[in-house]
Amino acid sequence: MSGGVFLGIDGGGTKTEFVCIDGAGKVLATALTGTTYHLQVGFDEVVRRLETGAAQVCTAIGITPERIDHAFFGLPAYGEDRSIDPRIHAACGAVLGHRRYDVGNDMICGWAGSLGCEDGINIVAGTGSIGYGERQGKSARVGGWGEVFSDEGSAYWIAIKGLSLFTRMSDGRTPRGPLYDKLSAALSLEDDLDLCGRIMGPQGMGRTEIAGLAGLVSEAAIAGDQAAGAILDEAARELADMALALRGALGFPEGTPVPLSWSGGVLSREARVRSEFLRTVRERGFAVIEPRFTPGYGSALYARKLA
């Protein structure tokens, strides 16, 4: 293995990717587990998944975790709770058996992958949403306050907006469009009020499941549902606002094209959201850069950089 072994962990709202590279950037092994969002699965399950993923990549290349030169754990919600962060940090060290590691929010993985660890801004829109950027050693984040009252432009946010639109269509407060029938069929609703039990009942849907409904909003928009389309356009504007706020926070000079990229399923797969987002940021003077690498690979690049 050329020039060392570096492990990156990109923990998203749906899955967690483990990527091991050597000093030349060659991928040695990868692994995949479920989300490591502790607010969703709990601390113990996060630790178990970190242990599982780390063990899988180490086994694949025939080493023990002690042989890893440096690791970076990019975990959702890290840095947002002073009571849980130290426990998570310590648990990451226990997984490796040494102190050659750093822990940060998974937003860093998206930036490191999309921009190759170079100065600029990355907007993440997956299950949740957040913006992160770096400039001349300074870093800043915007958004990512959680699904209860933030995460604008994310899949979860789009889905909640879509569910709200469904209730308005059911009541007659908004004309019924394609979204009404699509949601009814997808959730097997015999009566519209069954929606309450499906979402909030004892066997209700979790964060990831709800976020999965965002695709129905997109399908409805394609089918001509103007209200559904308006949700997607609003999502794009919210994400563009994050980029604008980050440009100011990082002190990029006015008139300077700021490198901007993106990651996450919404901006990667939802064509309407991505198109409106890119149109808006270009109008605001950003220099759009297609994502260079995946967030998982970015986390490994960042581990190598930190080493």
pLDDT tens per residue across span 237-246? 999 999 999 9
Instruction: Give the chain as a DSSP string.
Output: -TT-EEEEEEE-SSEEEEEEEETT--EEEEEEEE---HHHH-HHHHHHHHHHHHHHHHHHHT--GGG-SEEEEEETTTTS-TTTHHHHHHHHHHHHTSS-EEEEETHHHHHHHHHTT-SEEEEEESSSEEEEEEETTEEEEE----TTT--TTSHHHHHHHHHHHHHHHHHTSS---HHHHHHHHHTT-SSTTHHHHHHHSTT---HHHHHTTHHHHHHHHHTT-HHHHHHHHHHHHHHHHHHHHHHHHHTPPTTPPEEEEEESHHHHH-HHHHHHHHHHHHHTTEEE----S-HHHHHHHHHHHH-
Q: Position 136: which residue type? A: Q
pLDDT at 2 over 80: no
Average pLDDT over residues 198-202: 96
Strands 15-22 and 27-34: antiparallel
pLDDT tens per residue, range 255-269: 899 999 999 999 999
- The reply to whether the predicted model has a pTM over 0.95 is no
> Which pLDDT value is given to residue 199?
97
pLDDT at 1 over 80: no
Half-sphere exposure of 50 (CA within 13 A, CB side): 33
pLDDT at 89 over 90: yes
**Residue-range domains of the chain with CATH:** 5-116+292-306 (3.30.420.40), 155-229 (3.30.420.40)
Backbone dihedral region for residue 33 (phi beyond 0: left; psi -120 to 50: alpha; all else: beta): beta
